[in-house]
Structure 1
Amino acid sequence: MTTELLLNKCRGSLVGGAVGDALGYAVEFSSLNEIRKIYGQRGITDYKLNSSGIAEFSDDTQMSLFTAEGLLNAIADKKTSVDEITPYLTAAYKNWYLTQIRPKSQLERSFLSRFRALWSQRAPGLTCMSALQTIMSDSGGKVVNNSKGCGGVMRVAPVGIYSAAHTDILNLENAGLLAGSAAEITHKHPLSTLSSMAFAMVVAECILSHSIDRDKFREIIVDRVFTRLISRINGDIHLNELKALIIKALDLAISGRADTDAILILGEGWVADETLAIAIFSVMRYIDDFEKCVCCAVNHSGDSDSTGAVAGNIIGAILGYNAIPEKYRLNLELHDLILQIADTLASPIIPSDLLE
């Protein structure tokens, strides 16, 4: 793969996730009927801009960017194992937490702290906030929950992006393990961990693969990603449950069911496995069309920004940044920063101005 194509796909994944997030954020708490009443029968297809003409993204993209920053800080310190990198991700999420509760905090080692939009509250997930509050407490408490909310899976695409560009440093299997570990910082249910592992591996595989059609996409998910996961965690009831749901999503995508009817069968996306399933359904159905994919992923009665973000990460990894319609690149909040972070994840050298 040429350096130019690799960069295009890495950019496509990170920016694509922000596009899906921003599109879905406008309708995150709306039912499908409410969406159609406001935007027409096709649902939302264009950004809802704020008073400054900006398409705001949610906590999903905020936390994805902090994931990238934690990972890059670890790599800059020559940390390459899952156990070595995870504390850096915890530190990055603690920084994000401070942006949500203390708008004048001094963040530790954070280039992202310069960007005030990342200090805005964008419907932060309750599990993320509660878990990080526990971690930040004076006693440094241990997070105990059984949450499989999508707050873990929606933020780990940067792990897959970095792995695709640097398989010599973070191979695909370890990318899965790191993504699972990142999710477990706040979300302790196995389905959150496994969904995050699978998602990061799918992103990496899609970046590294050429000319992905439906058959190739199915092969990536079933024969590559889940085969790797099963070889490591064979017989796990939660992994079997996740695989069955994802295969159902792939099958529904090539069925004659309407988009919204199929998504309703898969769930609403408030939990990790459903988020991943809806995203994979949308990508499989619209494998060669970025706009149709993200619009499919956000127009339902569930967690539209997260399903849009995860679908955008995957379809962007497949089609690349150049396939994202200009109307979605224009007016996207912090577009240039997201592009810069994607370039850095793909680069062999981390620019000094990104290291605080």
Structure 2
Amino acid sequence: MSGVTYRSRVRGCVLGGAIGDALGGAIEFDSIGGVRSHHGGAGVTGMVADAGGREGLITDDTQMTLFTLEGLIRAGLREATRGVRGHAVGGAVRVPTGYYAAGAFAAIVHQVADDLTLYEAVHETLRLLDSYPGHEETSVALRAADELVGKGEPSPERVESLGGGWVAEEALAIAVYCALAYEKDFPAALLLAVNHSGDSDSTGSMAGNLLGAVHGEDVLPESWLDVLEGRGTIAELADDFAGRGRTDPAKYPPG
């Protein structure tokens, strides 16, 4: 057992994702050549201020995460107070393959929160994917990320060999590659995940989610947290989710 608490993993996951989002959001549409031209050969090495001088601004990636988190909190409270459960939706064979990438990502986060290593979680998720028809695009991307870790020094060029992250399976592959490549170095993993020519805020956010869930909130750099937009609100939602249905229902009235 790692000794990391569930609450710390949830906080690490959500706040870590927001940090990655903020790091990548400022350079999302820049090529790696442009990033290096503006920020030096190493690319972005920390939070980048916008035209108004503000650092740590989140994007729609974090906003959607927070809306999802609130929905899950409300569902948990409804089940706890009224015994009402959600209903599964059929038709898995007809869903777009992007759903498999989202499901794989959720499975990896869930498993590391249950104390599997990231490597173990990735391989268990690959095994799970094999049982679903139409999984091939996601499985191929995830295996490519896993295999790339052993092929030399991590770099933006290696990241871009997995794609630009503009489609779900590519974003998953990039995030997993960066998290595996620098599993014990949260800042290095996130900087690798955003310094490329693709969807930097999404890949940065997902890498932050993964390693935050692996290690808990203690790995999050305080200097990045200090400037993170909405830090208090993000942490509060994470804590309410970690409460697993014990949150005060008055905070989330029906509506």
Q: TM-score w.r.t. structure 2 length?
A: 0.89
The answer (yes or no) to whether the contact 1:12–1:324 under 8 Å persists in 2 is yes
The answer (yes or no) to whether the contact 1:290–1:319 under 8 Å persists in 2 is no
Aligned pair partner of 1:350 in 243, 247, 250: 247
SS of 1:266's partner is coil
The answer (yes or no) to whether the contact 1:13–1:317 under 8 Å persists in 2 is yes
Q: Deviations over 1:158-180 (max 9, x none)?
A: xxxxxxxxxxxxxxxxxxx9xx9
Match of 2:216 in 1: 320
Q: Deviations over 1:96-127 (max 9, x none)?
A: xxxxxxxxxxxxxxxxxxxxxxxxxxxxxxxx
SS of 1:28's partner is coil
Match of 1:220 in 2: 121
SS of 1:300's partner is coil
Q: 1:203 to 1:22 in 2, by over 3 A?
A: same
| Partner AA of 1:61 in structure 2 | T
Match of 1:81 in 2: 86
Count of equivalent residues: 246
The answer (yes or no) to whether the contact 2:4–2:216 under 8 Å persists in 1 is no
Match of 1:267 in 2: 163
- Once the two structures are TM-superposed, the CA of residue 219 in structure 1 deviates from its matched residue by 2.3
The answer (yes or no) to whether the contact 2:24–2:194 under 8 Å persists in 1 is yes
Q: Please give the residue correspondences for 1:24-63 in structure 2 after superposition, counting only pairs within 5 Å.
A: 24-50=24-50, 51=52, 53-63=54-64
CA distance in 2, matches of 1:82, 1:52: 46
SS of 2:161's partner is helix
- Once the two structures are TM-superposed, the CA of residue 3 in structure 1 deviates from its matched residue by 8.9
Q: Deviations over 1:310-340 (max 9, x none)?
A: 1110011111111111111111000011111
Greater than 6 Å deviation, 4+ residue runs = 1-4
Q: 1:80 to 1:225 in 2, by over 3 A?
A: farther
CA distance in 1, matches of 2:37, 2:87: 47
Say what the alpha-carbon RMSD is for the aligned residues: 2.3
Q: 1:249 to 1:326 in 2, by over 3 A?
A: same
CA distance in 2, matches of 1:35, 1:221: 30
Q: 1:345 to 1:301 in 2, by over 3 A?
A: same
- Once the two structures are TM-superposed, the CA of residue 227 in structure 1 deviates from its matched residue by 1.9
CA distance in 1, matches of 2:204, 2:162: 15
Aligned pair partner of 1:204 in 95, 110, 115: 110
- Percent identical: 34
CA distance in 1, matches of 2:53, 2:152: 41
Q: TM-score w.r.t. structure 1 length?
A: 0.65
- Once the two structures are TM-superposed, the CA of residue 189 in structure 1 deviates from its matched residue by 5.8
CA distance in 2, matches of 1:310, 1:82: 27
- Once the two structures are TM-superposed, the CA of residue 305 in structure 1 deviates from its matched residue by 0.3
- Once the two structures are TM-superposed, the CA of residue 54 in structure 1 deviates from its matched residue by 4.1
Match of 1:193 in 2: 99
Match of 1:68 in 2: 69
CA distance in 2, matches of 1:201, 1:240: 17
Q: Deviations over 1:106-156 (max 9, x none)?
A: xxxxxxxxxxxxxxxxxxxxxxxxxxxxxxxxxxxxxxxxxxxxxxxxxxx
- Once the two structures are TM-superposed, the CA of residue 254 in structure 1 deviates from its matched residue by 1.9
The answer (yes or no) to whether the contact 2:157–2:196 under 8 Å persists in 1 is no
Aligned pair partner of 2:135 in 236, 239, 247: 239
CA distance in 2, matches of 1:321, 1:258: 25
Give unpaired runs (5+ residues) of structure 1. Answer: 87-176, 182-187
The answer (yes or no) to whether the contact 2:57–2:229 under 8 Å persists in 1 is yes
| Partner AA of 2:74 in structure 1 | N
